[in-house]
Amino acid sequence: MENNKELRTWLDDFKLEHPLVIAGPCSAETEDQVLQIANELKDSDVSIFRAGIWKPRTRPGGFEGVGAIGLKWMQKAKAETGLLMATEVANANHVKLAIEHDIDVLWIGARTAVNPFAIQEIADALEGTDKIVLLKNPINPDLSLWIGGLERLYNANIKKLGVIHRGFSTYDKTKYRNNPEWQIAIDMQNRFPDLPLICDPSHITGRRDMIHEVSQQALDMNYDGLIIETHIDPDNAWSDAAQQVTPDDLKKMFVDLKVRKVSDNEGVFNQEMTKLRAQIDEFDGKLLEILGNRMKVADKIGELKKEKNVAILQNKRWNEILGKMILEGEEKGLSNDFVMHMFKAIHQESITHQEKIVNG
């Protein structure tokens, strides 16, 4: 699969003067709930109404969606509001039912995206469709797996494709429900710059008070749209209550969010950017030189450990380094998450160097 301008055609056809917005409840709960939310969103920046019909839950026993009856409610909402309708599909039967009920946009969730067999089943069921098909990132931070799922859909002659960045599961506790790992989405964006990229701040944050912040971060990185869970009574939602916002809060967010220009052709701006980027390039070169020299020291440590038959991993020393660096990073205006990720990567590279020496 190669990037091409036609990947953007379906998005350009909306002729929007703002990013694409997909909004609606995490789950369709009742006909009245679906219709009320859709009607409150119809005269806003929302172009596509979303609602979960089948809800894959982490553990059994929770609310797993109303099933196909909810598709009839969405048909009625479409007739009343003119909004396009979107729902998640996880197998060929879901696809069949969604198409029968004239659903316009189908997305494939993170739990399904991790399974190539499931993606292929859905791709076969959708082959040649004119529906818009959006693929969420898999739950684990694996760009190749994400691209592989996209390629299966592309090879099924599905023309209207896009991807949704909803964050990644992590064992480490962070302020996010699903760690954004922005670089993975940026790498996808760099690989396919014309493929519509949509951010899901609801699932990244898991908290309604952070949705504006993450939405703005996405728009600052030139994302093409947002998919935001919206409910008339979020606290009493049947699923994912903590991450849903009211229609009024969503509309206020549209006013407050700032859409940035991709660039600026003004001469002074470009001159200043050239100077600043030259400084960044210089610092990046110095960083690599410092890291290279650090690994040379790690090699010497590996040689000493081999000579004395000492274990490579020294947890006490590692924890001391990490604690110290986090404190020093705070003094320099660096976030704890950034310092932890950076030094974990450096530590792993150091261990790899030492393993080659000790076991060589």
Share of the chain above pLDDT 70, in %: 99
pLDDT of res. 63: 86
Average pLDDT over the chain, rounded to an integer: 94
pLDDT tens digits for range 66-82 = 999 999 999 999 999 99
Residue 265 scores a pLDDT above 80 = no
The token pair that represents 8 in the structure block:
């953007």
Asked whether the beta carbons of 123 and 158 are under 8 A apart, the reply is yes
Q: Is the pLDDT of residue 58 over 90?
A: no
**Contact criterion met (CB below 8 Å) for 168 and 157:** no
Instruction: Tell me what pLDDT residue 172 has.
Output: 75
What number is the average pLDDT over the span 1-10?
A: 95
Q: Which residues of 54-92 are buried (b: 16+ CB within 10 A; e: fewer)?
A: bbeeeeeeeeebbeeebbebbeebbeebebbbbbbbbee
Q: Check residue 7 and give its pLDDT.
A: 97
Rounded Cα gap, residues 243 and 165, in angstroms: 16
d(CA 16, CA 253): 17
**What is the mean pLDDT of the segment spanning 152-157?**
97
pLDDT band (50, 70, 90) for residue 22: very high
Please say if the pLDDT value at position 173 is more than 80: no
- Give the residue with greater pLDDT, 183 vs 38: 38
Asked whether residue 149 carries a pLDDT value surpassing 80, the answer given is yes
What is the pLDDT at residue 73? 98
Whether residue 30 is predicted with pLDDT greater than 90 in this model: the reply is yes
266-303 pLDDT per residue, tens:
778 888 888 888 889 889 999 999 999 999 999 999 99
Q: What average pLDDT score do residues 134-163 get?
A: 97
